[in-house]
Amino acid sequence: MSDHNNSSTTATTQSDPAGESDFTKDVHAMITEHAPRRFAVVLEYGDQIDAKVHAWGIALDDAAYMTTVDGKHQYSMATADNAVKFAPKPPNVTPYLVWVDEEADD
């Protein structure tokens, strides 16, 4: 592999006819496998009367991060399942964790 600090050195890889190298394919596969999953905390008002997104977040392998839609509050937590604990809970409002992305295949 090339020295990333030396711009005159380049890595040599095998290319397929479509122009995508094996290295590029491997990097893409790695990124896809380890990409964080996006989630939202949604507030349901009443019994499915209305709903709004309260916060957006990402879940990594060992932590999760969330920010409210207005950007005023940011949270770091062990798992995304804890996100609803930080949502407001006035009467007749139920917070839900909703996954935006599918879980990566193992």
pLDDT digits (tens, 9 = 90+) for 4-63: 443 333 344 454 556 678 999 999 999 988 899 999 999 999 999 999 999 999 999 999
Which range marks the domain in which residue 57 is found? 36-99
SS3 for 63?
Answer: coil
The total number of structural domains in the chain stands at: 1
Strands 74-77, 37-45: pairing kind: unpaired
Q: Is residue 14 part of a domain?
A: no
Determine the pLDDT at residue 49: 95
Q: Is residue 17 part of a domain?
A: no
Q: Which two tokens stand for residue 99?
A: 């996954």
Q: Which two tokens stand for residue 86?
A: 């930080």
Q: Is residue 18 part of a domain?
A: no
Q: Is residue 51 part of a domain?
A: yes
pLDDT at 70 over 80: yes
Determine the pLDDT at residue 20: 77
pLDDT at 99 over 60: yes
β-strand partners of 42:
53, 96
